Every structure is written in structure tokens, then in C-alpha cells.
Amino acid sequence: MENLEQFTRKKDFLICVDSDGCAMDTMDIKHFRCFGPCLVEEWNLKDWETPILARWNEMNLYTMTRGINRFKGLVKMLREVHETYTEIEEIEILEDWVEKSDELSNAALQRAIGKSGSTILKKALSWSESVNAKINELSFEDKKPFEGVKEGLAFAHEYADVAIVSSANLQAVLEEWERYGLLDHVDIVLAQDTGSKAFCIQELAKKGYEKVKILMTGDALGDYEAAKKNDVFYFPICVRHEKDSWEEFKETAVGRLLDGTYGGAYQEKKIEEFKANLEKK
């Protein structure tokens, strides 16, 4: 697989595709089995486990905050727990870190712990590491593509260059896509180590595609914002309707991109549907 520097445009059209929760059905299982349960465990919240897990999933999967950074989600959840169920000690310290840190990652958290030695920062790191360990235990059977992804990408690839634009770990993306034969329909893989999704789209566009010939496909608000920032089209894979979305991608969206009728009414309708789907409770 080529890297960004070596990559050259082969076709006139470019279709970018997010991985987690868009092509790969990995978000539900990560939140159901890893993020939520590890939070209950780390802060000893067994007494309120059912409503806390339900709220965690709603926040991270089914509403506008879908795909939120894990530490932003954590602090939001802990603030609610603090106000509704039980005291979360030093909650303000974690809120302060999330608000001010220029990077929200385990490495940045480790550095902050080195400076302050605060208990809640240590707990947040311990939670984040247990989540990673649990995610690593998931099998390939737990991380399958949504129905229709392979057909959709194979079709798109006949007419367009296809790029994975993901904020996940590069190696994990390559393994998951390779496993299900999806890499055959992909020209370039851009992940976490390349930069933000907006940056990746911007750099790909520089390879010589017209803006009206670029489509970003994603499942979360951040994907839409990355498309908007670059002034390219957006196609949503709607949570709980992924199969239908991929069918429409193949039957309608790709064709509209190719014949120049994607912009205007169709694009507006897709964005409205996307937002309405994440506003519903």
C-alpha cells in the first residue's frame, strides 16, 4: 500500500471512507464490552451499572456526541455520575486536564500524572489502559464489516480512487480490512498517525481531484465536519441503518457523484437524515 507522499491520482473521483462504525461494525462491541464496563469497574459503580451503561452507550453511539474522544466522554459521564449518583473525587482535576491538554491521549495523561500525581488522572489512565487491553482481546469475529460494504466499495472502486480516512490505529485498520478482503478495493490508507481526518482529506485533494469529485463517507459528526471543512461532499452511514446506507451508497450516491448531481438537494437531504438520526432518542 502506498503512503501519502507516494500516492498519485489514478481516477478523476476520490471516495474517502471512515473505518470504525462506518465500514466496520466495531463501535457497539467496543462500547458494550470495553469502555462502559471498564468505567463501572474502575470507579466502583456497580450499584448504578444499568443506567450508567445505558447513558454511556447513548452518549458514545446514538446521539450527536457519537465518536467523541474517549477522555471527553469519560469526563462528561463522570460529571453526570457525580451529580446524580455518587461523589467522584477530584472530578474538577480531570475536567481541567481534558479542557486544557493540547492532546488527549494516554501518553499526554501519563505526562500530566508525572507533574501532579493526582488520583483521578491515574484512574483515568488505568481505565484507558484496561479499555485497550479489552479491545485487544476482541476476536476478528467481533469486528466484521457491515453488510454491503464490500459490494459498495468494489462498485465505487471501478470509477473512483478509494481512501480509508480513519482516526484509528493504522495497524488495526489494515488487519481488519485485510481480513475481510476489503483492501482489494482501497488505494490508500490514512489513519491516526497521518493526522486529523480534515488534514487527510486536504492532503488527498492536493493530488489533483476537483472538490466536486470528492466524497467523504462516515458515521459521526466529526466525519461530516472534516468533509465540510474541505468543502467536499458527505455521505452518512446512519447508525442502526448501516445496511440501508451502504445499499444507497452503491445504488445512488456513487452514481450521483459521477454524474454531477450529488450537490444541492440530495446532499442536503443526506445531511438532514444524518442529523435527525443522531438527534432521535
Which residue in this structure is represented by grid cell 462502559?
Answer: 36
What x-and-dash track marks residues 202-241 binding Mg ion by CB under 5 A? Answer: -----------------xx---------------------
The 3-class SS string of 102-128 reads CCCCHHHHHHHHHHHCCHHHHHHHHHH
CA–CA dist 151, 156 (Å, integer)? 9
Q: How far is the CB of 236 from Mg ion (least distance, A)?
A: 11
The CA distance from 155 to 108, in Å, is 41
Amino acid at 196: S
| Residue whose CB is less far from Mg ion, 21 or 148 | 21
The correct pick among 18, 161, 242, 248 for binding Mg ion (CB under 5 A) is: 18
Contact track, Mg ion, 119-158, x by CB under 5 A:
----------------------------------------
By CB under 5 A, is residue 161 in contact with Mg ion?
no
**Cα distances (angstroms) measured from residue 188 to each of 3, 25, 157, 228:** 7, 21, 12, 21
User: Residue 249 Cβ, how far from Mg ion at the closest point, in Å?
Assistant: 15
Report the residue from 21, 36, 148, 236 that binds Mg ion according to the rule CB under 5 A: 21
Cα 147 to Cα 242: distance, rounded to the nearest angstrom = 8
- Comparison of 5 and 193: residue with beta carbon closer to Mg ion: 193
Q: Which residue's beta carbon is nearest to the bound Mg ion?
A: 21
Q: Which residue's CB is nearer to Mg ion, number 19 or number 267?
A: 19
Report the residue number, 21 or 152, with the smaller CB distance to Mg ion.
21
Looking only at residues 77 through 96 of this chain, which bind Mg ion when binding is defined by CB under 5 A? none
Cα distances (angstroms) measured from residue 166 to each of 190, 196, 255:
6, 8, 24
Distances (CA, A) of 211 to 76, 129, 166: 36, 40, 20
CB of 252 to Mg ion, least distance (A): 21
Q: How far is the CB of 122 from Mg ion (least distance, A)?
A: 29
Residue closer to Mg ion by CB (options 22, 278) is 22
User: Which CB atom, from 18 or from 187, has the smaller least distance to Mg ion?
Assistant: 18
Given a contact cutoff of 8 angstroms between Cβ atoms, the answer to whether 230 and 201 are in contact is yes
Q: How far is the CB of 237 from Mg ion (least distance, A)?
A: 8
14, 15, 22, 227: residue in contact with Mg ion (rule CB under 5 A): 22
Question: Which residues in the chain belong to E strands, given as ranges?
Answer: 13-17, 160-165, 188-190, 214-218, 233-236
Residue numbers of the site for Mg ion (CB under 5 A)?
Answer: 18, 20-22, 219-220
